[in-house]
Structure 1
Amino acid sequence: MLIHPWDAPRDDAEWQSWLAVHDFGQLVVNGLPGEPPYLQPLHFAYDAGRGEAVTHLARPNPLWAALEADPDVVLGVVDDYVYVPGPWQAAPGTPPEHGTPTSLYAAVQLRCRAQVVDDPAEKAELLNRQMGHFQPEGGSARAAAGEAPYGRLLSGIRGLRLEVTGVRAKFKYAGSKVPEVQDRIADRLAERGGPGDAAAREHLLRRRPA
Structure 2
Amino acid sequence: MLIHPWDAARDAAEWQQWLAVHDFGQLAVNGLPGEPPFVQPMHFAYAPSAGGEFGGVVAHLARPNPVWPALDANPGVLLSVVDDYAFVPGPWQALPGAPAEHGTPTSVYTAVQLRCTAHVVDDPEEKSALLNRQVGHFQPPGLSATVAVGEAPYGRMLSGIRGLRLEVTGVRAKFKYAGHKPEEVQDRIAAGLTERGGPGDAAALAGQRRRRQEA
Q: TM-score, structure 2 length as denominator?
A: 0.96
Q: Tell me if structure 2 keeps the 8 A contact 1:132–1:138.
A: no
Which residue is equivalent to 2:189?
185
> What runs of 5+ residues in structure 1 fail to find an aligned partner?
none
- After TM superposition, list the pairs within 5 Å mapping 1:64-79 onto structure 2: 64-79=68-83
Question: Are 1:197 and 2:191 an aligned pair?
Answer: no
Alpha-carbon shift at residue 19 of structure 1 (Å)? 0.4
Question: Are 1:146 and 2:150 an aligned pair?
Answer: yes
- After TM superposition, list the pairs within 5 Å mapping 1:16-165 onto structure 2: 16-49=16-49, 51-165=55-169
Counting matched residue pairs gives 210
**SS of corresponding position for 1:167:** strand
**SS of corresponding position for 2:212:** coil
Alpha-carbon shift at residue 206 of structure 1 (Å)? 1.6
The Cα offsets for residues 3-52 of structure 1, whole Å up to 9 and x where unpaired, read as 00000011111110110010000000000110101000000000113610
Spell out structure 1 runs of 4+ moving beyond 3 A. none
The Cα offsets for residues 136-167 of structure 1, whole Å up to 9 and x where unpaired, read as 33310000111111010000000000000000
Counterpart Cα distance in 1 of 2:57 and 2:35 = 26
Counterpart Cα distance in 2 of 1:146 and 1:19 = 33
Q: TM-score, structure 1 length as denominator?
A: 0.98
Counterpart Cα distance in 2 of 1:99 and 1:65 = 48
Higher mean alpha-carbon deviation, 195-204 vs 184-193, is at 195-204
> What runs of 5+ residues in structure 2 fail to find an aligned partner?
none
The CA RMSD over aligned residues, in Å, is 1.0
Counterpart Cα distance in 1 of 2:31 and 2:49 = 30
Counterpart Cα distance in 2 of 1:136 and 1:48 = 21
